[in-house]
Chains A and B, each alone.
Chain A
Amino acid sequence: DIQMTQSPSSLSASVGDRVTITCRASQGISNYLAWFQQKPGKAPKSLIYAASTLQSGVPSKFSGSGSGTDFTLTISSLQPEDFATYYCQQYYNYPRTFGPGTKVDIK
């Protein structure tokens, strides 16, 4: 199975900050990498697929990059609605695997 790691596990940031989250796969997954946002008590929401393609309706303040084993999710200017937990997931093969999540909270 492909192991996914994320760093940091949590971060505190202020409104307007630029935030970057890193995701690493235990083996190469090309660009078969997705990012999801989850707010407390809510279902996950799909943000990005193919490492850098925004899902329909996702604002351009979110961006993704990377290929192979190393990926990043960047939020260009953090807004109150962006405080949430972010998960990466590989869809290169089965079983699908998620990273452990990165919780972004208010400083």
Chain B
Amino acid sequence: QVQLVESGGGVVQPGRSLRLSCAASGFSFSSYAMHWVRQAPGKGLEWVTVISYDGSTKYYADSVKGRFTISRDNSKNTLYLQMDSLRPEDTAVYYCAGGVSGRVDYWGQGTLVTVSS
């Protein structure tokens, strides 16, 4: 069955960096665009970034542009999110999600990132 398993979350001080990973299985990872979506505590869903199936195209939300970098390794079926210059407002559960034709079909279980001194 389809699995997306995020890891790498934790508590980090403002201004520091963190890298999230998302291990995929049960579907053709290299054919799917992959997204990161986050959810601050008690808030709604916020789209963060997307990478095309082959890694050639990326888009970012304005709130993270220039600070976050999405990447993928199709040989390892793994998605990454490098988060630099973290701010308290980046505190959220981060979900990886994948889909075709622009949509999202699958979701991971999420990993919590807390930015606090």
Contact = CB atoms under 8 A, between A and B. Distances in A.
Interface of A: 32, 34, 36, 38, 42-46, 49-50, 55, 87, 89, 91, 94-101
Contacts of A96: 35, 47, 50
Contacts, number: 56
A43 B107 contact: yes
A89 B109 CA distance: 19
A46 B104 contact: yes
Nearest to A45: B107
A34 B103 contact: yes
Contacts of A99: 44
A101 B106 contact: no
Nearest to A85: B44
Given A34-B104, A43-B109, A95 B61 contact: yes
B15 interface: no
